[in-house]
Structure 1
Amino acid sequence: MKEKLTIGEMAKLRGVTSETLRHYDRIGLFKPQLVDPHSGYRYYSIFQYEILGTIKELRQLRMTTDEIREYLNERNFSKSLDIMKTKHEELVSNLKELNELEENIREKIAYLEQVERESELQKVIFRKMKSRQLLTLHEKINDNFELCYGVLNLENMLTEKTPILATNRLGIIIEETNLKSERFEEPSTIFIVAKNTEDIPNTYQITIPGGLFACIRYNGELLSSRSESLRKILRYLKTNSYQITGDALQIMHLDITITDKPNEITFEIQVPVRKV
């Protein structure tokens, strides 16, 4: 045991790197206490171990070097307690944000795994769905230019973390009258399925009642692909005595947030129906 420690010895004792200590020395955060008058070598004192340990722990609390310098400067009980409280509030806020992000990513992975299992296209299937709350600007979209700004404005209303990435929540409303009369190329209203509407004005919200939906998936972004799928589902409903009961939804199933391969981009059409 000795009082004077080289940079390597102090680094090893405290489980940090020599470069970390050199950095702390350069910025004046933690400097060697002893300098050999003959060789100019700089040494740490073993009695500095506690300060270095405190710095190491404060770094684990995600404190910046400026915050650590403030913490170490003229320490007293009241000041240290206040700094600790402030840092704790920040950590709780970050933890809440990380938990929300983890939950969203977990849901997205489950959704994509479901997509992988249910890859069949151009097949009419029926699903029971719960009521959904949609966010919409109530504006008809005439071209891709308006679509870009419409989606941007809707996404800016959301407060979630990674809300749209890898989710089937963005789509357009196909009005019942246009669907029944096969006017498939009429301008449509875009929407996002809402998860949290607490801070969003009611004027931007509409409710899609729960119930039975006839669904069909298709890939590709051509209007002809959508028209073909809509005609197919209309023929199926007519043949099997189903009645359309409201506006249909066309939802992005897999989009450019997941793939840049055109043959993998997929939409799902959902038509509310009842058996006649």
Structure 2
Amino acid sequence: MYFDYKGCCNTKVNTCIIFFKGAIKLKEKLTIGEMAKLRGMTTETLRHYDRINLFKPQYIDSHSGYRYYSIFQYEVLGTIKELRQLGMSTDEIKDYFNERNFSKSLDILKAKHADLVSKLNELTDLEENIREKIVYLDHVARETELQTVMFRELGRRKLITLNEKINNNLELCYGVIRLENMLAEKTPILASNRLGILIQEADLRTKRFEEPSVIFVVAKSKEKIPKQYQRIVPAGLFACIRYNGELLWNRSESLSKIFDYLDEGGYQITGDALQIMHVDITITDKPNEITFEIQVPVQKV
């Protein structure tokens, strides 16, 4: 039987729609190619489902040995396709079809939905982090001035710190890893201005600019970190300077410029300074592109 228009499968009769050059042929038994085409799948996918006993042809021709699907299997295959789109593994789908009932199917779908919501939240956080980093790096690309002291009003910040001083690059590597492992967010400090070290006020006042320093990362508001690892930097006025180079501790020249500027302008420091990794090795291999920013809290005398 042929029709010149598109229709749909009729489960009340042993018929099925197959497209041939614009016409439609209805039949019950389908070859693997016909079933694959009908469901928008590949024949290899159906062969794989057959091999793992997930979805097998219903008929085997006793003479030719050819295997055929029944059109009445269409709904099972459609369900498999939908569950795969939901991210379920073939083993999970097998379990879904094993002794199915309403309550079991509902529970499985609820669990999968919760999993998808969790993954969606992770992707949302990831997108937010990447978007913020792109905005930040675009801003950095427009700023080229180095070794110039400038005053900036900066807001209150919550730092996460191990409260341990870093003496060398080896300790720095392990410190960064430990800080990252404390954060729940995805790609937390890659290519951002959130990682840095604290230069103690006592070392600043005695001009011991290259003393070991405490490493930190600026926390986001959603982070839940034990209080012993938190430190608050109050909002206020900061004298800032940027310099480039590979080494974290090569800051004496920049700090000396800040203090000369403060002395001339009648300012005094009010706390520990922050040295932020402005552009680091996650972004570039070129030493002259690696940039640090020193932020010293100050007030007018």
State the TM-score, normalized to the length of structure 2. 0.87
Aligned partner of residue 153 in structure 1, secondary structure: helix
Residue 5 of structure 1, aligned match among 30, 54, 74: 30
What's the Cα RMSD here? Answer: 1.6
Residue 152 of structure 1, aligned match among 171, 177, 180: 177
**Letter of the structure 1 residue corresponding to residue 100 of structure 2:** R
Residue 82 of structure 2, aligned match among 57, 61, 66: 57
Residue 280 of structure 2, aligned match among 231, 236, 255: 255
In the TM superposition, what is the alpha-carbon distance from 1:225 to its structure 2 partner? 4.2
- Once the two structures are superposed, residues 248-275 of structure 1 have per-residue CA deviations (whole angstroms, 9 ceiling, x without a partner) of 1101011111122211111100011122
Cα separation, 2, equivalents of 1:3 and 1:223: 74
Aligned counterparts, 1:179-194, within 5 A: 179-194=204-219
Aligned counterparts, 1:161-180, within 5 A: 161-180=186-205
Of the structure 1 ranges 53-62 and 66-75, higher mean CA displacement relative to structure 2 is found in 66-75
1:242 is the counterpart of 2:283 = no
Answer yes or no: is the 8 Å Cα contact 2:269–2:296 preserved in 1. Answer: yes
Answer yes or no: is the 8 Å Cα contact 2:184–2:223 preserved in 1. Answer: no
Q: Which residue of 1 aligns with 2:228?
A: 203
**Letter of the structure 2 residue corresponding to residue 218 of structure 1:** Y
**Letter of the structure 1 residue corresponding to residue 239 of structure 2:** A
Aligned counterparts, 1:75-154, within 5 A: 75-154=100-179
Q: Report the CA distance shift for 1:121/1:161 in structure 2 as closer, same or farther (over 3 A).
A: same
Aligned partner of residue 214 in structure 1, secondary structure: strand
Rg comparison, structure with higher value = 2
In the TM superposition, what is the alpha-carbon distance from 1:80 to its structure 2 partner? 0.9
**Letter of the structure 2 residue corresponding to residue 113 of structure 1:** D
In the TM superposition, what is the alpha-carbon distance from 1:74 to its structure 2 partner? 2.1
Q: Report the CA distance shift for 1:197/1:182 in structure 2 as closer, same or farther (over 3 A).
A: farther
Q: Which runs of 5+ in 1 are unaligned?
A: none
Of the structure 1 ranges 48-57 and 97-106, higher mean CA displacement relative to structure 2 is found in 97-106
Q: Which runs of 5+ in 2 are unaligned?
A: 1-25
In the TM superposition, what is the alpha-carbon distance from 1:223 to its structure 2 partner? 6.2
Cα separation, 1, equivalents of 2:246 and 2:281: 11
